Structures are given as structure tokens and as C-alpha cells.
Amino acid sequence: MSKQNIDWSNLGFGYIKTDYRYVCRYKDGQWDEGGLETDANITLNECACVFQYCQACFEGMKAYYTKDGHIVCFRPDMNAKRMADSAARLEMPPFPVDKFVDAVKQVVAANADFVPPYGTGASLYIRPFMIGTNSVIGVKPATEFEFRIFCTPVGPYFKGGAKPIAIKVSDYDRAAPHGTGNIKAGLNYAMSLHAIMEAHREGFAENMYLDAATRTKVEETGGANFIFVTKDGKLVTPKSDSILPSVPRRSLLVVAEKYLHMPVEEREVYFSEVPDFAECGLCGTAAVISPVGLINDHGKEIRFPSGMDEMGPVLTKLYTTLRGIQQCEIEAPEGWILKIQ
């Protein structure tokens, strides 16, 4: 397949098989050399630990063309470090950060034909993951593991791109205090599937999860962190030990403070405060920023002044500045951009 065979401007957020993926295996206490492979399929025993006890973690990032024709990736070292944290929590061997970043470079360079052209709004989504592969029937960790990175060209995560979405307050809990909410474990996402499908059936794009302990504080959605803008122009984001630390959210806090000179607060956000905010958005690798125009709380609607027609002015500045940094049109902080070719 080549670029001419894909309608880049109308690309959905789905899987398209690319030519190469990186595979590295762990056995007898060490990782092998690893390298690129062409087979997209994995053959495992029926009793593999990943099937029995869901021993799996993953990451997500993007590569894209810049205006001057380079292919770049945004802060992959942060994903590598977060995945190492996830692995440690799941009794899996952390994959070395430098080897992770090198593997990303190999996969993207080998699949350069699948990187969407600049200006199409599409990107190459990169999915590293690790699974326990040997047979385990008693409840215990695997001793053999497989680390893989594949990639696929994707369009916007939410249909309509950066148009405001409507979400609902979920009756379900995403994560418990002292649990695994702050790591990117596959099981966390499996547990949110019913809730997200229920939201979709009711006409909402996503869920707002509240803290499991008191159900009074904002946590996150099934796949993105919240950011709020106060009426006096302050950026506020929820702080909790059960929230996944999003790379784009952490980057947006720097953008707000250092580039836009906005006051920034990372703190507990009570749901009772939400109607007082001027703007609300979801941020994550897949969506970057998706503005929220409406939150449905069991039939009671919270509508933000920014409305349902377009992204609010402050979120727009944050979005365009971060995208400018990612596209190398605005000078990035040191180490944020990995040039692949």
C-alpha cells in the first residue's frame, strides 16, 4: 500500500495493517536483541498469562509530517517512562527507555509510506504494548513476555475533529483509590467498555468518571484527562492518584504557563465546581484536545459558555500552540521533538 491508496482527509480512527512492527521477547531474565518483523499475528498457548490474568500494558503516541517535510514524534521518552511504571506495577520487566525510543524510530521509519501527508489532519498512531506470554494457570505473573510496537494511520479520534462533544456523568467507577488507575493497564480499559458503549447508546461521546471513594470529585474519562478554564483565564486540571498521567496534559500545563503565561492549578476538582468553569476539554494522545460543550448529570445539563459550535478561545490557544510545537512551527522545549527522518 502507498500513500496514493488512502483517502487521508477522510480517514477514520481504525486499524490499517502496515508493513513492519517491532518485536522483542523476554526470557530467562533478559530481553533479546529485538527487531522488525512483517507478521502482524501472534501465536500463543491458550493458557498464556495475558489470556488468563490480563497481564498487559500499553502506550499510545503519534508520528506526523511537519510543514518542512520531516517525520517527527512527540515526547516518546515520556511514554517509555510511563510504560516502565505500568510494567513494574504489573510485575512485568520494564522495557529500557532508550531501547523503547529506538524501537519507535525503527517502526516509524520502516512504515514511512503510511505517515499521512502534512495538512490532512491525519497521523500515524503508534501502539507499543507488552504481554505475559508463557502458560500460567495458578494466579501468578508470567516469566516470559513480548514487547511489540505496531503503527496504523488514523484520522480524528472523535468524529467532527475539534468540534465540542456532549458527555455524561457515569454511574460506574473507572478506578479505585490505591488501584491501577494511574497506569496504562489493558484491564482498566476493558472495565470501561460497557460504560462507554452505554454512553454511546444514549447519544454521548464519552463518560465523566467521578472518584470512587466519595463520588464528589472529577477524575477523567475512559481515555482522556480533563482540563478546565476558569472565567478569569486560569487552567485547572484534576489531581488524583487514580488518574493516568497524560503526556499531552502534562505538556499543556507547560504550554499554558511558559508560552501563554496563564496561571495553572493541578488540584482536586469537585464536581460542584464544574458549572462555574468557562471551558472544558478532554486531552490525550488520540484526541489532543476535544472540547466539551455539554455534560449531562442524570438529566440535568451543564452547558459551558463556550457552547456546542466551536472550541472556546482559551482551549483554542492551547491547542494551536501545542500543535505548533508538535509540528515544529513553534520552538519546542528541549527534548520534546524526536526527529525520525
Q: Which three cell numbers stand for residue 221?
A: 474519562
- Residue 13 scores a pLDDT above 80: yes
CA-nearest of 144, 163, 150 to 48 is 144
Return the number of other C-beta atoms located less than 10 Å from residue 68's C-beta.
9
Q: d(Cα 188, Cα 1) in Å, to the nearest integer?
A: 34
Q: d(Cα 144, Cα 165) in Å, to the nearest integer?
A: 42
- φ/ψ region of 29 (left if φ > 0, alpha if ψ in -120 to 50, else beta) reads left
Which tens digit of pLDDT belongs to each residue from 190-225?
A: 999 999 999 999 999 999 999 999 999 999 999 899
- Residue 267 scores a pLDDT above 50: yes
Residue 4, pLDDT score = 57
DSSP 125-136: EEEEEEEE-SB-
Q: pTM (2 decimals)?
A: 0.95
Which tens digit of pLDDT belongs to each residue from 75-123?
A: 999 999 999 999 999 999 999 999 999 999 999 999 999 999 998 889 9
Domains present along the chain, CATH in parentheses: 3-154 (3.30.470.10), 165-326 (3.20.10.10)
Task: Say if CB 246 and CB 253 are below 8 A apart.
Answer: no
pLDDT interval class at 1 (50, 70, 90): very low
Residue 127 CA to its chain's centroid (Å):
10
- Percent of the chain residues topping a pLDDT of 90: 92
CA-nearest of 265, 255, 245 to 318 is 255
Residue 150 CA to its chain's centroid (Å):
15
User: 62, 105, 168, 184: which is the annotated catalytic residue?
Assistant: 184
- Residue 3 scores a pLDDT above 70: no
CA-nearest of 167, 133, 166, 169 to 148 is 133
Which tens digit of pLDDT belongs to each residue from 281-324?
A: 999 887 789 999 999 999 999 999 999 999 999 999 999 999 99
Which tens digit of pLDDT belongs to each residue from 15-46?
A: 999 999 999 999 999 999 999 999 999 999 99
- Residue 161 scores a pLDDT above 80: no
Identify whether 81 is a catalytic site residue: no
Q: d(Cα 33, Cα 156) in Å, to the nearest integer?
A: 35
Residue 65 forms beta bridges with which residues?
71
Q: Which helix (H) or strand (E) holds 313?
A: helix 313-326
Distances (CA, A) of 318 to 156, 195, 224: 18, 29, 16
Residue 162, pLDDT score = 77
CA-nearest of 299, 304, 168 to 228 is 304
Residue 80 DSSP SS3:
helix
Q: Is 110 exposed, middle or buried (0-12, 13-18, 19+ CB in 10 A)?
A: middle
